Structure 1
């Protein structure tokens, strides 16, 4: 591989810090025939390949070439357009979307001809989806059983847009209250789903019930909004735990906790289990999740109207040997496979934390990310 660094300069030899100048790069070897006998040389077909341009967004670029043949080579770098020219071209096309080139159609009528102007029908610009192919057009309502695509959504101006279904966004506390009115939320798992409990309590300004000797980190936690009849619970998933000292009578295996839920159309069960299992072989995690899946199947059998939501792992940094990114990723892949084909909702926190770039990777995602996870959850509780 050959790497060539390019520095864009103006006519005063100052570095130009444009972002998006359009360069063209190629590598070539010219071949010539003829020689001393004729005194003339004729250039014939030579060797050549393109280079890949990387814009470092600071006025410098790198052209990368593969060296695919032997011999002397020439590197050719061409500034096709500076960024300003590209901007002008794009503005011009938007200003004159069908008027830059005139077309004529000729009708032959007997021995005569009739010419008329023609072009693209401008009516197509009234349908933006036809022009821009908006990926958010024609999304379905958020209901259980929808498949999660490989790319399940994207951020636009910091707001998550699901490609799975039409996801909600709330602009006021009243919107949250109307959606969750009459609901009982059972959140079980590790601290990344405890964040759901914490932020709902904050958003809805709920009243927390003090449970004697319960620790906030492990629960059980209970909060209520009596006006709108909203109840939110949290409890840890049971051992293994990396947490502060906790009374054992407050710890319950998640399978047993699921079996105690009667269920119904007003119940939402949210689960995430991963962060405390990363230091174990995947077989340990698999066995636990098989038991969880069986408990969920029993719940849905006795109460099919219960909404069950699985929150995936989220990206994180940490000791690579016990809690790092790769270990979390492996468990997340197993979890997805474990719940394939079962009538549950997946909140893809892995992608929602992986796609953002304004926060670092952390075991506990930032507030704005957690709130958008909750908005996606609510998209299935009160679909648009």
Structure 2
């Protein structure tokens, strides 16, 4: 694609993204739906057989998606008001420990049965489509941190939206964690493809890839977050705290530093960034600097997301779906409409503080997106995967289906939930009923 066309496309895309939040507010469509559609149009009208296809350079696509995800994870961690706690995070632990492995197994079985994939490729597909998205699911997630002295907006007071409603919190925290927890299963698919018999590497995968790298990610993330929090709120420059004189770029610097350090010591950087953000937020939970940090992260994430969605949309209209079979389409449809809702519903049965309507909403809104793009591009950058186009087709179709269906349903479903009596993290209803 000529450079001048790239500038035109990016300029129009950014202009559109800057206006879409206001246009889409309260309407049954989302900004990702429009941007993805714009990418499809770009692919149709720009000359060339395949103007911007993720397949052309898997490593470059992986790096763009990687940066987008880690920046989004920092924003997600900063946005959460609820401190890390085993009891109040129980729905999240259930979604990570039960729903995600069951979802991987379900998609792998469908890939093997409906698409005729080999067992290793089917496992890889299940892992690639496992993470829900911290980037594209903003319509059903926590909006952002409240600074010192801030209160709910007039709109939130009018419709009864709680500061910590269980649906938004669970979907946000789940998306913050499952990008990292899907990684061992991506490795499992790659190991099955290229490392011989299970007996040769099974113990290594179990002890190090599944457990050890998660432990390292948690430790590095927590320690880094505590140190960054001490620097921000106890460090001083010219007699003032760093939090009062620093710039929002601090959040970006923290994101890259924590991620890079964790990867150097072979932990899961995705997990470390999210944990570091939680620790940083907990250092002084109500300080207004978190709002500034989150706002900058969100704007950066928006630009990177725009680039990726344009790439995928343009590639779809230029041949990315050429490898999609009826079996592949069935896998995507069943994941969105059956597998995720079913495993989510079953995993949350008996969870204290989550009622029937909330359980249904959490189970339904398993948005697929940028995380899946990263994992597939990462896998395809290895020499083991032979089903590249077929997997890209299924993943692109599933992301599109998810963006459309979840985008259309997010506003009406969340509006209906928001108008119910407010509920705290412990599950008890507040004394006041919603207004309106």
With CA pairs under 8 Å and 6+ residues apart, which has the higher RCO, 1 or 2?
Answer: 2
Q: Which has the higher helix share?
A: 2
Shared fold (TM-score, shorter chain, > 0.5)? no
Q: Which has the higher strand share?
A: 1
Structure number, greater radius of gyration: 1
TM-score interval, smaller chain: under 0.3
- TM-score, scaled to structure 1: 0.25
- TM-score, scaled to structure 2: 0.23
